Structure 1
Amino acid sequence: MPAKSKALYNPAILEDTSAEAVEMKPVLTELLPQALGKTYNTKPSELPAYQAVRTQDAAYQGRLALALAMAMHRCAQSDYQIRSTLAELLSGLLRGTLGLGEDDYLRLMQLYGLDMRDANPTLELWPYPWGLTLAQVARLAKKQGQLGEPLREVVAAIYRGTIGGLRNELPLNLKAQEILNLTGEAQAPTVVFADGDPFGLSLNQFVADLAPAAVANWVTLLQMWQKATAGQPTAKLRKELDAATAAIGPEAVREQGSTWLQVLANIPVVERPRVHDYGDGTVYNYMSWDFLTDANLVVAKGLIWTMQPLADAHVLAQLTALAAKCFRKIPGKGPLAAGLGNACLLVLSQNGLPGVAALARVRSKIRQTNTQEIIARYIAQESAKLGVSPAEIEDMAVPEFGLENGRLVEELGEYTATLTLTDGKADVQWRKADKPLKSAPAALKATHADELKELKTTQTQAQQTYTAQRDRLDRSFVEERRMPWPWFAQYYFDHGLMSELARRLIWRLRRPDGTFQDALYLDDSWQDAHGKPLPALGADTQVQLWHPVLTTATEVLAWRELLERHQLRQPLKQAFREVYLLTPPEERTNTYSNRMAAHILKQHQFNSLAKLRGWRYRLLGAYDKGYDSEIASLPLPAHNLTAEYWVSEVYADGEWNDTGIYNYVSTDQVRFTRGEAPVALPEIPALAFSEVMRDVDLFVGVASVGNDPQWRDNGGLAQFRNYWESYSFGDLSEVAKTRKLALERLVPRLKIGKVSEIKGNFLVVKGHRHTYKIHLGSGNILMEPNDQYLCIVPDRSSRTMGDSAVFLPFEGDAVLSIILSKAQLLMDDDKITDPTILRQL
């Protein structure tokens, strides 16, 4: 025997005076040391003493089961290993045939801790094998056709959920229901759900209110939902769900199912403090986020599977919203309800192009890499069915929502509602005749409630779709995709929603002879960078999204001037997009770039940004090996490449959160690989290189501790103070250089222009008390004459740009907004009342 076989247990647990305990003491004295000393992978059935037991008859094995339960009952609560070992042996016996009667099973349950004499009986499940015990009782009930009153009372209590500890244990409740049906004692057909959440309460109330004629069909369907424990329905269950739905009526199931989906969407996620007392003086305090009971998570999955063939536009919208809710990140746990969310994604994936459109909308709200990959796989599967590429099926799936050139007009009685997409925002304006109204007339809520609800849904979905498609286009530069003109015209240029994106972007128009022309659609014609109209385009033209790395600096400047002249704001940064070209140091290092190395990033913020831009990354935790590093990677399938950004944990005392995840990471090199082999940087396509480096610059520019004005004063790591200062007030990144260009144009036109100017890497503002230097990269502030640091924490809820009338030809970044708002505050520093700021001045 291995050394572990000598593990001690208190012999008193075998000293029960019952006949079974006395008889089985020698057997347990031999069996227990073998079981305690076995390795993890050894099964009880492989133990010599256990094998000897299994050669005995059912009555003998039944008496041993009682003796094991007695020993468990006599164990101290803290004897986890002994109790779990005894439970494992008892479970093995309960999987076979035991010669036990009703009184014996009642004794077992009493030894498990159940006392039916208590007015409010309660117990703990672990470590007792309740499920296997009820399975034995079911065998007995089937054999006898009835149960005596004492055992029947226990089974009925388990079925009704009136025993504390078994109240919301659905598998046990279902097994008890099966036993009662076997003996003809249940009010058949019926079904009971865990009532620990609004969903279960709603289901139970629905069953209670069913008309007698509808009970059988509905209960048949609802009972199936309680068995939805797998990742997806089997072919058999799919067939049974469809048959049960047909028996009730698809419309009735769709209507009631939609009601329950709304219940799920409305259930709040409640944060509650919890305390677990281990019984040995150890107490663990933690937080839980309550949504659905475990039992009703299974039921909800069955509901969602049932809705798959019934999903109309409204149901698809509900499933999309529920999926986003289920993948909400919960601290210390991960997704709120990943299994339920995956069920939603599965159903969406099986509903053709409308489902693909819904997947595209929800994808932008999900940060989990594995879930992003699941969505991509579903889209690829649908594209394969239609014989198109994943990008093409996403084009085809974008709904128009009844829009024409970004505009939808609805007549509701004597009122007119106009939905418009303006600068990416879906807005509804109301009129009565020629009189504009501030909001939807209250009278319509009574006369046109359904139409109002549909309009609101359209507004929400149009906004979500626009945002999702804008982000998809922003990530698509690196693909260098070319589209035939007829495809581009149908799914972009003439599309009710996509035209709002396509007509404000620059496109490269490629002719069959290999020549091309860069163009923007202005004043009802395609024009070049100098505003010169182009000849009509032929059907053989191919269209590619233009990128500034594809042309000269002179041409880029011409495009920027054209946008400003026409006051055209692009939906994403294109003409003003940063360009990253290979540098001499990178040519020397050849296979890697150190341009973005040696930065200190807030890891969680970096992780969120990386996922948002399609990168794959796994959070580094204090449980990882200290010398390990992690790689954030971005697949580039168009070039058969993978981009890698290497990071390492920043190890310091206490610098990890409650779940053991490091707060900070340090950055290293950027590489490109093909398969396992590194690829020389000069061989990387210029556009792919530029876009990857832009992403990495974004990660640093947002997640660096140097951007946090409070990091130094709030106890930031002392060993990185020099880094914080050098980043906060040092050289400008490419993003910051673009910001500088924008500010050079903006500042003279603003009120702050009278007291402000751009000097080097700073916006210098002359206040009444001091002169201030706001860094154009970090937004942090120094005060002249001795460069004293001034900490001003920006209001994250504020979206002001300093002047709402100021035109920007691209969507402003957060730091630009912060710089302008700080400048506006500091020019009138004599009017500042905030005591935190005044103390520093």
Structure 2
Amino acid sequence: MSLLDKLSSLFSQPTPSSDPVRIVLDQLNQIRQLDWNAQNERRKELVDTLKAKDPSFRYDFTYKLIRDYDFRKIAHPWDVNELLSALHRSNVVESEQDFVALLTAIRDAMQQERASFSNIPILLILKQLQRFAAKQPLTEKTISFLKELTNDETFFSPSYYRRKDVDNVKMALSSLAHSTGDADTYPAVILEDSDHFGKTINQFVQEADPEQRNVLYGLLAHYKKASGAKPSGKYIDEARKLYRQLGETDRYTTIAKLGLIALKQTEVQSQTHTNNYSGREYSYTTNTFLNEINATIAKGLIWTLTGLAEGEAELIKLLNDVAEKTYQKIPGQGPAAASVGNACLYVLAQSGIAGVGQLSRLKLRIKQANTQALIEKYIQEASDKLGVSTEEIEDMAVADYGLKNGRFTRAFGDYRATVTITSVGKVETQWTKADGSSLKTEPAAVKKELATELKALKSTVADIAKNTTAQRDRLDRSLVLNRSWTWDRFTTYYAEHGLMSFLTRQLIWTIEKGEQSADVFYQNEGWADLNGNRIDWIDDTTLVRLWHPVGQSVDNVLAWRNFLTSHEIRQPLKQAFREVYLLTDAELNTRVYSNRMAAHILKQHQFNTLAKGRGWRYSLLGAYDKGYESEKAVIELPTYDLKAEFWVSEVDADGAWNDTGIYLYVSTDQVRFSRRNNDDPIQLIDVPALVFSEIMRDVDLFVGVASVGNDPNWRDGGLTQFRTYWESYSFGELGELAKSRKQAVERLLPRLKISRIAEVRDKFLVVQGKLRTYKIHLGSGNILMEPNDQYLCIVPDRSTDKVTSTVFLPFEGDTMLSIVLSKAFLLADDDKITDPTITRQIN
């Protein structure tokens, strides 16, 4: 007799002692002893036999299995789950009372830890109940039971490790508890309220009038369908049909803004879990930004803004803010909600030049390699669509915020707020009364009566501060491209642009028209040469590009440096004082690679941050994977059809990795150039001089900032096998960055109050204190004390910039220069130092 016949006979004429559940479990155990193909065939026979039985038999079978059996003791519980799933894909439960009885049995099994969501297809059972409730309203008793079940933590706790299952079940139960049963309404959708976004959406929906609430339920159900990398046309069309039921499109965008604001305000929540295994307690912490189902709903909400955000400045700004928020890293987990951030990027890319502008800004702020690649893809698509280069897209996309020459004024009743960019990353707001008299702080009346407008102003000020930094970095990186603009485009996007003009007018530009050429700077409300002569031959056809010291005569470079110093002009980026790297004899001999920056020990995470900030691609090296394919940082240079590679290797020493297995340190090796589509190295002499100089400057920056030689604590706490390296770097020969710093200090020193007791001597800034004489290395910032070159450890703090804020520096961005000067000022008055960690070393 076949299995099918045997089971049919038993199930059709069961004896008093026969137990269909036991029979099935025994058969599953027997099936497991067969070969793979036979297993599949026999298992299908078993499922078909059970599916052929009437709904009451299938219900009784399910109920008895869940009520009486311990899934932990079943040999193959996943087989049982598959079988139950097959039975419940069609309607099995026929009455409301049976649903309650079955859910009660499931709850009891969960609470007794006899089963979990991975054993029982509870979602399929709840879908049956949803279909049942759609035909007739559930009784108050059942609704009360469902609400009780939703809030019963013991019902969910056994499945904490299947968080998505828990979220789906909670949402299904909540939706059922709020269902009306009316045929022309959408089933209720209640978000998990474990995060701010879920709580906000739930509250908004519940407070809506019944007609609007019904449409919102439909939209929430639609959001739950969001899957994949981007929405289909069908998804957008269905969303459009739904939100149009709310009335004017503006009504929906207003609602969407509330959702985006809630996402922006959602914070990462940490929770400690403690479990007991074999009498021992184990604790661990989880960090959660968005519940997984809520993240899907947020993604769907954002997708529906495709086509709506264009021209909506507030929406576009919110999408930018949410993207930045959701890409923030959670320790040990990665981005907070990358799928939500990716949805923001997609919608921004479809939102015209303003949206692409935000992508350009995000590209400068988000460092994850895959996200950078996605942003670049979207910008390239916009470039192709508009028929302009990606660089031009980025020019056109910079917001001016209503600024004129870096300033704007807004009225707040009887008061005025004047916003002014004072330096890169710093924006000040000055309040005045109607009569023009100044106020120290924002008026109390504005705080009370115009709180919303005041909040918007503060948001704009913060955004301007971030964007000045982002655009400064973009300009700095663009030096390698050697771009040129016609004068009309330069004027529109740089010289007279509300935000960019603040940066532009502190830089040197080279202008050309036919045979005429000049290097110019903005002086006395116009463009003039080094000697102050106004250029009168400029017209719209004049070409403009950023001045670069490569190819300039020494006298020209020195003249511009003197000009900036004498006029106390602080450039937003290093230009006149920029380091120049020329091919050395050693590099001409090695032909295809440079060892100039080899054999250094870098802090890998700091190197990674610096590299990505300069547009390089790099993957952290881990102790779990040798990672031969990723032992290099790479930057693409499409303008020249080149790419540059900086090779590194992990430092595999005892304990030299963090808790996630990432090496703490890397050692440096060669720098090479090749064509973008070919890994064969090209000769360094064939690399354009400007490109070579800029790439070597980047690599020198990585070494100059991330080297362990800059760490004052390394001498006592670092890896002992690299102590010699630390000594040689800390007080060794100066690299190009340090040589540039030395020249800056030599120019600055006569203007400083310490000039009589300080001098630049070889590699050091030497300061004669009251107690000792100190030699501050101009490369590492580390200190030796005369007469015996005793090492002095001073760890710089975050107040370094404040210490040197009154000192004129000709350029921004050199933190080590600030550290060197800060230490010099401190040690000049060494008799006034009270910090015992320093005084113990000096005395």
TM-score bracket for the superposition, by shorter chain length: 0.7 to 0.9
Letter of the 1:641 counterpart: L
Aligned equivalents of 1:68 and 1:601: distance in 2? 64
**Map 1:462-481 → 2, pairs under 5 A:** 462-481=464-483
- Partner residue, 2:262: 263
Q: Deviations over 1:571-625 (max 9, x none)?
A: 2111111111111111111111111111111111111111111111111111103
- Could you tell me which of 729, 732, 739 is aligned with 2:731? 729
- 1:201 and 2:199 are equivalent in the alignment: yes
CA distance in 2 between partners of 1:386 and 1:441 (Å): 46
Given that residues 236 and 306 in structure 2 are in contact (C-alpha distance below 8 angstroms), is that contact kept between their aligned partners in structure 1? no
The alignment status of 1:394 with 2:394, answered yes or no, reads yes
Change (3 A) 1:51 1:450: closer
Distance 2:817 2:63 in 1: 75
Equivalents in 2 of 1:101, 1:527: separation in Å? Answer: 88
Cα deviation digits, residues 645-678 of structure 1 (max 9, x gap) = 1111111222211111111111111111212221
Deviates more, 1:362-371 or 1:65-74: 65-74
Describe the superposition over 1:108-141 as per-residue Cα deviations: whole angstroms up to 9, x where unpaired: 767755459x8x9997433443334444666788
Structure 1 position 596 matched with structure 2 position 597: yes
| Counterpart contact for 2:85–2:121, Cα < 8 Å | no
**Corresponding residue for residue 744 of structure 2:** 742
Aligned position for 1:693: 696
In the TM superposition, 1:588-627 aligns within 5 A as 588-625=589-626
Do structure 1's residue 172 and structure 2's residue 169 form an aligned pair? yes
- Partner in structure 1 of residue 410 of structure 2: 410
Residue 125 of structure 1 corresponds to: 117
Q: Secondary structure at the match of 1:286?
A: strand
CA distance in 2, matches of 1:161, 1:306: 34
Secondary structure class of the residue paired with 2:673: strand
**Structure 2 residue identity aligned to 1:125:** F
Any idea what SS the aligned residue of 1:751 has?
A: coil
Deviation of the 1:204 alpha carbon: 2.1
Superposed CA offset, 1:687-734 (max 9, x none): 1111111111111111111111112222x1111111111111111111
Counterpart selection for 1:86 from 59, 69, 79:
79
Within-5 A mapping of 1:72-83: 74=70, 76=72
Post-superposition shift, 1:248?
Answer: 1.4
Structure 2 counterpart of 1:508: 510
Distance (whole Å) between structure 2 residues aligned to residue 751 and residue 91 of structure 1: 84
Cα distance in structure 1, aligned partners of 2:208 and 2:366: 38
1:228 counterpart = 2:231: no
Alignment map for 1:16-95 (pairs within 5 Å): 19-34=19-34, 47-54=40-47, 56=49, 58-59=51-52, 74=70, 76=72, 85-86=78-79, 89-90=82-83, 93-94=86-87
Aligned length: 808
Structure 1 Cα separation of the partners of residues 193 and 525 of structure 2: 61
Read off the aligned partner of 1:631 and give its amino acid letter. Answer: K
Q: Contact conserved, 2:522 with 2:528, CA < 8 A, in 1?
A: yes
* Residues in 2 aligned to 1:576 and 1:719: alpha-carbon distance in whole angstroms: 36
- Inter-partner Cα distance in structure 1 for 2:364 and 2:357: 12
Shifted more, 61-70 versus 550-559: the winner is 61-70
* Aligned-partner Cα distance in 2 for 1:352–1:415: 36
Aligned to 1:485: 487
Q: What amino acid is the match of 1:86?
A: D
Flag the 1:707–1:18 CA change in 2: closer, same or farther, 3 A: farther
Q: How does 1:430-579 map to 2 (within 5 A)?
A: 430-432=431-433, 433-513=435-515, 516-579=517-580
Q: Which amino acid aligns with 1:320?
A: N
The verdict on how the C-alpha distance between 1:141 and 1:173 changes in structure 2, with shifts beyond 3 A counting, is same
Secondary structure at 2:597's aligned position in 1?
coil
Separation in 2 of the partners of 1:65 and 1:182? Answer: 31
* CA spacing shift, 1:724–1:524, aligned 2, 3 Å: same
- What stretches of structure 2 of length at least 5 have no aligned partner? 1-16, 158-162
Q: CA deviation at 1:326?
A: 1.0
- 2:284 corresponds to: 286
Cα distance in 1 between the residues matched to 2:672 and 2:365: 28
Q: Say whether the 8 Å CA contact 1:87–1:129 is kept in structure 2.
A: no
Counterpart Cα distance in 2 of 1:71 and 1:211: 42
The Cα shift of 1:467 comes to 1.9
Q: CA deviation at 1:158?
A: 5.8
Report the Cα distance in structure 2 between the residues aligned to 1:358 and 1:319, rounded to whole angstroms: 9
Whichever residue aligns with residue 213 of structure 2, its letter is V
TM-score by length of 2: 0.87
Residues 573-722 of structure 1: pairs in structure 2 closer than 5 A: 573-625=574-626, 630-674=631-675, 675-714=678-717, 716-722=718-724
- Separation (CA, whole Å) in 2 of partners of 1:266 and 1:136: 37
In the TM superposition, residue 528 of structure 1 has moved relative to its aligned partner by 2.9
The 3-state SS of whatever aligns with 2:428 is strand
Identical-pair percentage: 46
- Displacement of 1:390: 1.1
Q: Specify the SS of the correspondent of 1:774.
A: strand
Aligned to 2:8: none
Structure 2 residue identity aligned to 1:429 = Q
Displacement of 1:538 in angstroms is 2.7
Distance in structure 2 (CA, Å) of the matches to 1:758 and 1:52: 90
Do the aligned residues in 2 keep the contact of 1:69 with 1:90 (CA within 8 Å)? no
Paired residue secondary structure (1:799)? helix
Corresponding letter in the other structure for 2:122: W
Structure 1 18/157 Cα, relative in aligned 2: closer, same or farther at 3 Å? farther
User: 2:503 & 2:768 partners in 1: Cα distance?
Assistant: 40
C-alpha displacement of 1:73? 5.0
| Matched position secondary structure for 1:22 | helix
Change (3 A) 1:685 1:53: same
Q: Structure 1 residues 55 and 487, CA, compared in 2 at 3 Å: closer, same or farther?
A: same
- Range that drifts further, 523-532 or 717-726: 523-532
Q: Which amino acid aligns with 1:260?
A: G
Letter matched to residue 90 of structure 1 = L
Q: 1:146 and 1:462 mapped to 2: Cα distance?
A: 55
The CA RMSD over aligned residues, in Å, is 3.5
Residues 434 and 52 of structure 1, relative CA distance in 2, 3 Å threshold: closer
Task: Name the CA shift for 1:132/1:590 in 2 (closer, same or farther; >3 Å).
Answer: farther
Work out the CA distance in 1 between the residues paired with 2:104 and 2:24. Answer: 19
Contact in 2 for aligned 1:20/1:63 (Cα 8 Å): no
Secondary structure, in 3 states, of the residue corresponding to 1:476? helix
Q: Partner letter of residue 685 of structure 1?
A: P
Q: Cα deviation per residue 1:20-66 (whole Å; 9 max; x = unaligned)?
A: 243235422322245xx86xxxxx99734324435545247959985
Instruction: After superposition, give the CA deviation of every residue in 1:135-176 in whole Å (9 maximum; x if it has no partner).
Output: 46667888x979999998876766788873189844335555
- Residue identity in the other structure for 2:192: A
Residue 777 of structure 2 is matched in structure 1 by 775
Q: From the superposition, tell whether residues 626 and 809 of structure 1 become closer, same or farther in structure 2 (CA, over 3 Å).
A: closer
Whole-angstrom CA distance in 2 between matches of 1:381 and 1:627: 32
Specify the code of the residue in structure 2 equivalent to 1:746: L
Provide the rounded CA distance (Å) in 2 between the counterparts of 1:625 and 1:837.
42
Distance 1:573 1:151, change over 3 A: same
Contact 1:30 1:49 in 2 (8 A): no
The residue that corresponds to 1:753 in the other structure is: 755
Residues 72 and 611 (structure 1 numbering): CA distance in 2 closer, same or farther, change over 3 Å?
Answer: farther
Q: Shift of the alpha carbon at 1:95?
A: 7.3
The verdict on how the C-alpha distance between 1:493 and 1:18 changes in structure 2, with shifts beyond 3 A counting, is farther
Rounded to whole Å, the distance in 2 between the matches of 1:404 and 1:262 is 29
